[in-house]
């Protein structure tokens, strides 16, 4: 009687797989439906963004920053603006800082809605995506009225923002927040607390607190493991020290602490915290200019700087070196998606192939932010 022999399969997930949300490839070694490992293969979207900064100058690089993370481009705008301002010791007017906070928090809402909506769709629940994308489109309407664009904004400038809030926009924004909060409760009833959805996410891709720190995870991926760290709170920048808000963390409510469900729920709860910040910012915004006087031929003194912003995908670091000319000598951006890719190979070991989609979605990686 012959003995049944099996062998491992090597499968390609991507680079055109719909669940990777970008040109991203995973080399999957599997024994039947169980993965031995999934190895990320990145680089398909590399566009030399950091090198371009050296060729187009400080002002000219601002539109390119949108392409680092097109899902929440306001944060990349702000990061480059803050790095340039630190090099030249430029003070942004108070109203300009408030406009930045308002724009970025609305963009955080839009980014998290896309994340939680597509996560449900990737796992097989189609209807919640339409609810999430409807709200995101309404936010995009507000952002379009603010800056003229819905995706790559180019709203910020070195020294502040390009335009003030349009007449009547503040009232529209507050009215939208009144509409959004009850909708979020409806969304939770529809999918977040759905029994099947919880069973698909709970105890999948568990990241302990120590692993999250050792793998240098940031944002919701770090906070999902119970680590309460948010740049807006712990290293406040802009006007975030003037706002009262909480930092949600994973609690292991449905499975082990640090699973995919925890990461999902951190993003859901961050939506409510962003609404809190927006209400305060819209009500407290002071009068005054929104843009400092910055020379067109911008040449910061020689030196280097690093700044950090809390993007939708976490701690985003910008490093810039000036040689005293109108072109940066070196620029580097550290992104949350690139950091998250490092732990996928470890987490995938022993998972079902179907759970790889859940794992990737729970980490909320954006392909252009990985490759740049």
What are the pLDDT digits (tens) for 125-166? 889 899 999 999 999 999 999 999 998 999 999 999 999 999
Domain with CATH 1.10.645.10 in the chain: 50-356
What are the pLDDT digits (tens) for 213-255? 999 999 999 999 999 999 999 999 999 999 999 999 999 888 8
Residue percentage of the chain with pLDDT more than 90: 67
**Rounded distance, CA 322 to CA 166, Å?**
35
Q: Which of 228, 273, 235, 277 is nearest to 249 (CA)?
A: 228
pTM score: 0.93
Tokens for 83, please give them. 């790095």
Q: Which of 149, 128, 154 is nearest to 139 (CA)?
A: 149
Residues of the chain with pLDDT under 70: 1-2, 4, 19
**Rounded distance, CA 343 to CA 357, Å?**
15
- φ and ψ of 352, to 5 deg: -70, 150
Q: Which of 61, 183, 77 is nearest to 133 (CA)?
A: 183
Tokens for 28, please give them. 């999957």
Side-chain half-sphere exposure of 338, counting CA atoms within 13 A = 17
Q: What is the pLDDT of residue 1?
A: 53
Superfamily of segment(s) 50-356: Cytochrome-c3 Hydrogenase, chain B (1.10.645.10)
Q: What is the pLDDT of residue 125?
A: 85
Q: What is the pLDDT of residue 367?
A: 82
Q: What is the pLDDT of residue 41?
A: 86
- φ and ψ of 339, to 5 deg: -60, -40
**Token pair 């709200």 in the structure block, residue:** 135
Please list the residues that pair with 321 across neighbouring strands. 304, 330
Q: What is the pLDDT of residue 372?
A: 76
């Amino acid at each position: 009687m012959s003995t049944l022999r099996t062998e491992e399969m090597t499968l390609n997930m991507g680079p055109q797989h719909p669940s990777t949300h970008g040109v991203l490839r995973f080399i999957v070694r599997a024994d039947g439906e169980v993965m031995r490992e999934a190895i990320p293969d990145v680089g398909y979207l590399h566009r030399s963004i950091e090198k371009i900064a050296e060729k187009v100058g400080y002002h000219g690089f601002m539109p390119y920053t949108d392409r680092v993370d097109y899902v929440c481009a306001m944060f990349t705008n702000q990061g480059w603006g803050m790095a340039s301002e630190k090099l030249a010791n430029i003070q942004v007017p108070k109203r300009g800082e408030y406009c930045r906070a308002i724009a970025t928090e609305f963009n955080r809402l839009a980014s998290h809605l896309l994340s939680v909506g597509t996560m449900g769709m990737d796992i097989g629940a189609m209807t919640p995506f339409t609810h999430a994308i409807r709200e995101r489109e309404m936010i995009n309407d507000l952002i379009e009225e603010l800056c003229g664009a819905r995706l790559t904004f180019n709203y910020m400038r070195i020294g502040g923002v390009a335009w003030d809030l349009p007449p009547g926009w503040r009232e529209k924004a507050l009215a939208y927040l009144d509409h959004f909060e009850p909708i979020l409760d409806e969304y939770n009833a529809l999918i977040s607390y759905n029994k099947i959805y919880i069973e698909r996410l709970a105890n999948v891709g568990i990241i302990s607190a120590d692993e999250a720190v050792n793998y240098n995870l940031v944002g919701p991926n770090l906070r999902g493991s119970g680590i309460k760290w948010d740049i807006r709170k712990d290293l406040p920048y802009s006007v975030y020290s003037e706002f009262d808000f909480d930092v949600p963390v994973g609690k292991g409510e449905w499975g082990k602490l640090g699973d995919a469900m925890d990461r999902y729920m951190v993003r859901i709860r961050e939506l409510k915290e962003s609404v809190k910040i927006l209400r305060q910012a819209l009500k407290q915004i002071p009068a005054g200019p929104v843009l400092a006087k910055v020379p067109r031929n911008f040449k910061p003194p020689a030196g280097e700087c690093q700044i950090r912003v809390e993007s939708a995908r976490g701690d985003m670091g910008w490093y810039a070196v000036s040689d005293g000319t109108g072109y940066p000598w070196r620029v580097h951006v550290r992104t949350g998606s690139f950091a998250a890719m490092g732990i996928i190979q470890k987490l995938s070991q022993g998972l079902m192939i179907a759970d790889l989609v859940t794992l990737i979605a729970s980490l909320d990686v954006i392909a252009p932010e990985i490759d740049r």
